[in-house]
Every structure is written in C-alpha cells, then in structure tokens.
Amino acid sequence: MISNINGSAMRSAYANSLNDNKEIKANAKLTASQDGSQNKIEKLKEAIASGEYKVDLSALSKKMADELL
C-alpha cells in the first residue's frame, strides 16, 4: 500500500519527468529547425553567389501589394 506521502512524491516525480521530456523534445525540434534553416541559408548563399538565384517577380510584387493593403 502506498501512503499519501509516497503517492504525492510519485506524482511529483512523474510530473517532473514529463516536463523534462517535453523540454528535451522542444529543444530537439528547435535544433532540427535551426539545422534546416542553416542548410537552406547556405544553399541560398551559394545560389546568389553563383548567379543561379532567380527572383520570382510575380510573387514578390503580389506580396508587396498585399502588404500595402
């Protein structure tokens, strides 16, 4: 039989464990998204430097017009 003291300690430990797992998962997602962003930035830099990057003027003008409205 678990006493009230042991039961509350177990609940507290379990809650702390869940919070730690959530923090670990959030940090992993953040790191993964930063890695993906860095990779995308590097690809864009290379494309600009080599002259291969093309601006979609239609999409750019639409976004600019939407921002003005």
State which residues form the domain around 63: 4-68
The continuous run of DSSP H or E covering 27 comes out as helix 4-50
Q: Determine contact, residues 10/18, Cβ cutoff 8 Å.
A: no
- The pTM score is 0.39
3-class secondary-structure state, position 53: coil
Quote the CA–CA distance of 9 and 5 in Å, as a whole number.
6
Give the tens place of pLDDT for each residue, 22-66.
Answer: 666 666 666 656 677 788 888 989 999 999 999 899 999 999 999
* Number of separate domains in the chain: 1
Q: 43 vs 3, which has greater pLDDT? A: 43
Q: How far apart are CA 27 and CA 35, in angstroms?
A: 12
